[in-house]
Structure formats: C-alpha cells, structure tokens
Structure 1
Amino acid sequence: MADNKMKYTIDSNMQFPMIEIALETGEFAYIQRGSMIYHNAAVTLTSELNAKGNGIGKLFKAAGRAMTSGESVFITKAVSSNDNGIIALAPSTPGQVMPVDLGSKQYRLNDGAFLALDGSAQYTMERQSVGKAFFGGQGGLFVMTTNGVGTLLVNAFGSIKKIELQSQEITIDNAHVVAWSDTLDYNIHLENGFVQSIGTGEGVVNTFRGTGEIYVQSLNIETFANIMKNYIVTDGKSSSSGNPLGGLFDALT
C-alpha cells in the first residue's frame, strides 16, 4: 500500500550523483523540471499548475507567481501505476545531492536547490520583503518553503556542508546558500555597503540569526559563470582577452 514515503538510492560509485526513486502503486513524487534521466513503464510524468485553487483562478495564481518569482507555471509529478515504479534523476549542475527529513523541521530553499519531494510533503511560495527580493537569489518576491512530513532532496553546485546555529549569528555569501531552517531570521544585504562590497569582491550576503540549520555549497555558480564568460565564443570571436587561452580560441575560430 502506498505510503508516499520516498524510497531512493544515490549511486555513490559515480563521479556525479544519480538518484533512483522507487514508487509503489499510486505513489508520486514532485521533481525538478528537466531532471529526469529515465523511468520504467510503470511511471507517468504529468504537469500540474504550480498553485492552489481551481479553474481559471489557479492558472492566474500560477502565472502571477512565475512572473514575480521566476518559478515555472507548472510542476512535474511522477506517478506510479504499480509497485515497481522506478525513476532516475540528476541535478542540472554538478554537485552533491542530500536528503533532508521534513516534519518537526521545515526549510526554505534558494533558487536551484530543489530536486525532488515525496508526495507526503509539499512546498509553498512564501512572500518575502521587497528588500530581500531585490538583493536575494531566493525567487524574487517569493521563497520556496516546505511543509508536511516527508523527504526533500536538495542539490548543490559542489559539496554541501551543514552549519548549526544555537542562538547565534552568521553571515554567508548568498550564492553559497542552499537551504535553511524556517526558524531562522534572515537578512539579505550588501556586505559593508556598496563601496566596500566592490572593494572586497563580496557582494550580496545573507545574515542568519537564531537557532536552526543552514546548508551551504562549496562552489559559487555566479563566480563560475563569470570565469566561463572569458572562454565563450560569440560572433566568431572569443571574449578571452587577457587570458592565456585567448589565442587558441581565436585560432580555432
């Protein structure tokens, strides 16, 4: 009998993680769009509007949330028709995948951290302040917040480390934040003001206060993207000026 408690395996023999989720009859899991590698005949993928409600109102809610948060209008749902359902997933960026138990603890997620969630749990998009929306990477005016009982799979760019706070405070580069307890107060801001942020190279940071957990990733995708810009060829020319591989890119193009 389906209990919607996620049964999964993470292949540790692979350089980059691949996750297999086993589903029984009627069980389902929500998954990140585009994360499916394969599934067997028992599993069907469907799309649902990413909002609560019914009819045209539900469509407008989903569309409005997509415009203000950058989140998709639809969510992907994997449903099994028998007890042998299998679906395999992989994150969109190379890095660690970690399970997080939901129940007495709930979490907020940064953009790109969500990989899968079992059918016993849910997530909502919680409105945040304009200041947090302006500075942060957590979905603009909304931030993904979990609720219910179940298993959440989060993915990161690089490795994941858990930081535990006990009535403490810590400041973390916002691009390294994966997820954090909903019991924590958080404030997204510039490190030491605009001028100092330019000088130190540390831009938007997130200061957490209280008691709870924070998951951080070892790599910064924004920094990585800026490095890769130097090697991207556009209009027959590379933007690799000033780096040792520039001549090679120019010669090849």
Structure 2
Amino acid sequence: MEYKIHGTVMQALEVTLARGESIYTESGGMAWMTDGIDMKTSGKGGLGSMIGRKLAGESMFMTTYTCQVDQGMITFTPESPGKVIPLALKPGYSMICQKDAFMCAEETVQLEMHFRRKLGSGLFGGEGFILQKLTGPGTAFVEIAGEVQMVELKAGERLKIDPGHIAMYEPTCSYDVEMVKGVMNMFMGGEGLFLATVTGPGRVWLQTMPLSNLAGSLKRYIATSS
C-alpha cells in the first residue's frame, strides 16, 4: 500500500492498493475510487465491536475495499477542515484518539473504544468517558480538526490543556483533569472550571480548532440572524 496526502486546509488521502490489498473505513467514508476495487460492508468484529464503534463516534458498520486488479486507487476526505495524520503502528502498539478521529486503516489494524478510567477525566475531559484506540500492526489514518501541533513530554513532565484541544496521545501518557484555581479564574477566565493534564513520558497531539468550539461560535451567529 502507498499513499499521498493532498491539500492544506481540506486535505484528501489518496491510497494506492496492489492486487489483494485492503483498507477499511466507516460507512460513507470513501470519496472516489478507480475501477477494480471491491467494496464489502459488514459489522466487522461482531455486535460487541459494532456497539463499541458507535459509542466511540464511528458507524456501526465498516466498509472494506479490496483491490481486484494489479493496481487501484481510492480517496478518502475528512469531515471538517483540518489535517490527515498517518500512523505507522508496530505490532501491539496503540494510539489513543478523540472520538470520531478514525478515517481508515489497513485490515491488520484494530479499532476499538477506550475508556477513561478516572471519573473526573470522563465527566469533564471534553470528550466523555469513551475514546478510540487504534492498535497495530499496520498503517492507520486519523483526521484532526484545525492545525496540529505535537508535543513530546519527558517522564513526569506535565502539560495543562483546554480539554477540547487534545486530539491524540500515546498510551504511555497519563491523563487527568484538575479544577481551575481561584473563583475569578473559574467564572470569569473563559476557560471553564476544569483543565486537562497530560503527564509524560510520551507524545500528545493538540488541535487548534475543536469542533465543539467551532459549533459554539456558529450557533451564536445563527441565533443572532434568526
């Protein structure tokens, strides 16, 4: 499998498959493809996996595309302006992603839901208790809204983040939520009552435009115009 990522703000992922190679995505994830690629939709992994994917922000049914000719091309596009991030996952290596981040992956990559174990993290962590977990071996692609910045944390090093800006992190990092200190900071600071804290070692990917923030801004304009 080979791939190219085209564009800047509204990127497109172009995947070239050789005969017999496959890639899967959520239902409706494909934008266009050449002749000779077989399409098969199923409940990949059974009922438990289907429910888990739905809770993690994806469709219950997944579609697998398999190349039946010497070479075929298939293109996937994101649901919002942002970046397509390729993940080369080694056997047993995982990545924790925000809900609805999954775009597509090789058949060998496992997609499942991931629970935040701490109550505070789940209730106030910006995306709820359930995230997505991608486990190798294989290549997966995720879509992240806005621009993306990766920060590598050393062991014990902490980063305080507005929860909606966390797009993805390595499972070696620990994630928690802490209350903002000071009454004026809580109610007049504009950042809400809680901040996320990610502690290294490990890498964390941050997004500049959480979809919840964008939706909130658009909602104000819609309310004004009506």
Q: TM-score range by the shorter chain?
A: 0.7 to 0.9
In 1, the alpha carbon distance for the partners of 2:174 and 2:75 equals 35
For residues 91-145 of structure 1, what are the alpha-carbon distances to aligned partners after superposition, in whole Å with 9 as ceiling and x for unaligned? 001012121221175310011322121223222223332623322344x443211
Aligned twin of 2:163: 174
Preserved CA contact (<8 Å) 1:30 1:119: yes
Tell me how many residue pairs correspond in the alignment. 222
Rg larger in 1 or in 2?
A: 1
Which one of 149, 162, 180 corresponds to residue 150 of structure 2? 162
SS of the aligned residue for 1:231 comes to helix
In 1, the alpha carbon distance for the partners of 2:215 and 2:180 equals 21
Preserved CA contact (<8 Å) 1:136 1:188: yes
Matched, 1:227 2:214: no
Aligned twin of 1:151: 139
Aligned twin of 1:74: 61
Alignment-mate amino acid for residue 149 of structure 1 = P
Preserved CA contact (<8 Å) 2:173 2:201: yes
In 1, the alpha carbon distance for the partners of 2:117 and 2:182 equals 19
Q: How does 1:1-253 map to 2 (within 5 A)?
A: 6-12=1-7, 15-50=9-44, 52=45, 58-59=46-47, 61-62=48-49, 64-65=51-52, 68-103=55-90, 105-129=93-117, 131=119, 132-138=121-127, 140-167=128-155, 168-192=157-181, 196-203=185-192, 204-232=194-222, 239-240=223-224, 249=225
In 2, the alpha carbon distance for the partners of 1:163 and 1:70 equals 25
Structure 1, 192-201 or 29-38: larger mean CA deviation: 192-201
Identity %: 26
Instruction: Quote the RMSD (CA, aligned, Å).
Output: 2.6
SS of the aligned residue for 1:223 comes to helix
Preserved CA contact (<8 Å) 1:29 1:77: yes
Preserved CA contact (<8 Å) 1:135 1:189: no
Preserved CA contact (<8 Å) 1:111 1:137: no
Structure 2 unaligned residues grouped into runs of 5+:
none
Preserved CA contact (<8 Å) 1:171 1:207: yes
Structure 1 unaligned residues grouped into runs of 5+:
1-5, 53-57, 233-238, 241-248
Cα distance change, pair 153–69 in 1 and its aligned pair in 2 (3 A): closer
Cα distance change, pair 67–87 in 1 and its aligned pair in 2 (3 A): closer
For normalisation by structure 2, the TM-score amounts to 0.85
For normalisation by structure 1, the TM-score amounts to 0.77
In 2, the alpha carbon distance for the partners of 1:160 and 1:66 equals 24
